[in-house]
């Protein structure tokens, strides 16, 4: 007993759409709309196609305001940030990128962006030059919430760069090397009225997307804070989140045992001041 087919497979065309078919579908939908019934639409529009195929063709290719062509750096950044936070939930990611479809983003990720990121992290692990990102090894992934069923690290962080707050145009990113592949978490720069600027890994966009979905994932973040008077003594604040079951002590341990990246990076001591760590 298999699943009932959605249409009569013998009498529907498969494969690439011809310009004539595109025109028929476009014309019909522009005049009559979808009528809320994709299954019935091909018959009405005079198409020998499955309703699902029509829907896909319309959503991914024919509907107005679809963007084709290269992705911008901003789009790259949003995709990376969201992927690192919510994983391969392409429809949610697509919702943040007007004009892009989930299929388009999925293809782009699988064929280009993923490789681009892998290349970046590999290059950095080979070179001793100061990177604009922080490379974490897989050992450091234990910050991931153990209650999460998500197959990717929610958040991990094991140290900081010897850095200064970068320009707003080019905030650094974290590349996480996981068993399943590499993930990149972008950062954003925040300014408080009575506070110094700091970097936040994971973004509000990502947090919002995670919150709006049914996922138990969170938008938790770690802040790297820089004192105005001394760039070389940042503070890392752990933004406590109930769904991230990792104690401050564990974080301290994690940080002190994972000083594995960047030649110019070193950590001597950690002091805990209630909910934050001060590095000396």
Q: How far is the CB of 197 from DNA (least distance, A)?
A: 34
Rounded Cα gap, residues 58 and 53, in angstroms: 9
Rg (CA), the chain: 24
Residue nearer to DNA on the CB measure, 31 or 68: 68
Cα 175 to Cα 156: distance, rounded to the nearest angstrom: 10
Shortest Cβ 39–DNA spacing (Å) = 4
CB of 177 to DNA, least distance (A): 20
Smallest separation, CB 207 to DNA (Å): 17
Least Å from the CB of residue 140 to DNA = 24
276 torsion bin: left (phi>0), alpha (psi -120 to 50), beta (else): beta
Tell me how far, at minimum, the Cβ of 14 lies from DNA, in Å: 4
CA-nearest of 160, 174, 274, 271 to 226 is 160
Give the CA count within 13 Å in the CB-facing half-sphere of 104.
Answer: 21
Q: Given strand 181-190, what is the order of strands in its sheet?
A: 133-136, 173-178, 181-190, 198-201, 222-225, 235-238, 276-279, 270-273
Q: How many residues does the chain have?
A: 280
**Closer by beta carbon to DNA, 4 or else 73:** 4
| Closer Cβ to DNA, 36 or 242, answer by number | 36
By the 8 A CB rule, do 145 and 176 touch? no
Task: Select 22 or 137, whichever has its Cβ closest to DNA.
Answer: 22
Task: Give 54 or 175: the residue with its C-beta nearer to DNA.
Answer: 54
Looking at the Cβ atoms of 45 and 224, the one nearer to DNA is 45
Q: Which two tokens stand for residue 84?
A: 């690192």
Of 38 and 265, CB closest to DNA: 38
User: Residue 112 Cβ, how far from DNA at the closest point, in Å?
Assistant: 5
Interaction site with DNA (CB under 7 A): 3-4, 6, 9, 13-17, 34, 36-40, 49-53, 55-57, 60-61, 68, 88-92, 102-104, 106-108, 110-112, 115
Nearer to DNA, 91 or 130 (CB): 91
Cα–Cα dist 32/41, whole Å: 10
- Least separation in angstroms between CB 115 and DNA: 7
List CB contacts of 249: < 8 A, sequence separation 6 or more.
none
Are 86 and 219 within 8 A, CB to CB? no
Estimate the share of the chain in helix, then strand, then coil, as percent rounded to the nearest 5: 35, 15, 50
């Amino acid at each position: 007993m298999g699943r009932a087919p959605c249409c009569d497979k013998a009498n529907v065309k498969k494969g690439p759409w011809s310009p004539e078919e595109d025109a028929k579908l476009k014309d019909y939908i522009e005049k009559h709309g979808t009528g809320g019934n994709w299954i019935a639409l091909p018959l009405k529009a005079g198409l020998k196609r499955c309703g699902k195929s029509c829907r896909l063709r319309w959503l991914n290719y024919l509907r107005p305001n679809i963007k084709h062509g290269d992705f911008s750096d901003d789009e790259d950044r949003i995709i990376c940030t969201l992927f690192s936070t919510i994983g391969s939930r392409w429809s949610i990611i697509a919702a943040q990128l007007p004009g892009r479809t989930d299929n388009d983003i999925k293809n782009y990720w699988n064929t280009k962006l993923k490789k681009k990121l892998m290349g970046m992290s590999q290059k950095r692990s080979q070179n001793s030059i100061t990177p604009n990102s922080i490379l974490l090894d897989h050992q450091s992934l234990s910050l991931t919430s153990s209650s999460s069923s998500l197959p990717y690290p929610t958040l991990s962080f094991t140290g900081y760069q010897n850095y200064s707050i970068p320009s707003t145009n080019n905030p650094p990113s974290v590349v996480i090397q996981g068993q399943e592949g590499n993930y990149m978490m972008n950062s954003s720069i925040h300014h408080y009225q009575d506070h110094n600027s700091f970097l936040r890994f994971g973004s509000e966009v990502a947090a919002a997307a995670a919150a709006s979905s049914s996922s138990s994932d969170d938008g938790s973040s770690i802040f790297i804070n820089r004192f105005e008077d001394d760039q070389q003594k940042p503070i890392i604040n752990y933004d406590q989140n109930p769904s991230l079951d990792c104690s401050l002590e564990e974080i301290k341990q994690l940080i002190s045992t994972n000083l594995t990246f960047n030649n110019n990076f070193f950590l001597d001591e950690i002091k805990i001041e209630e909910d934050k760590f001060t590095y000396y």
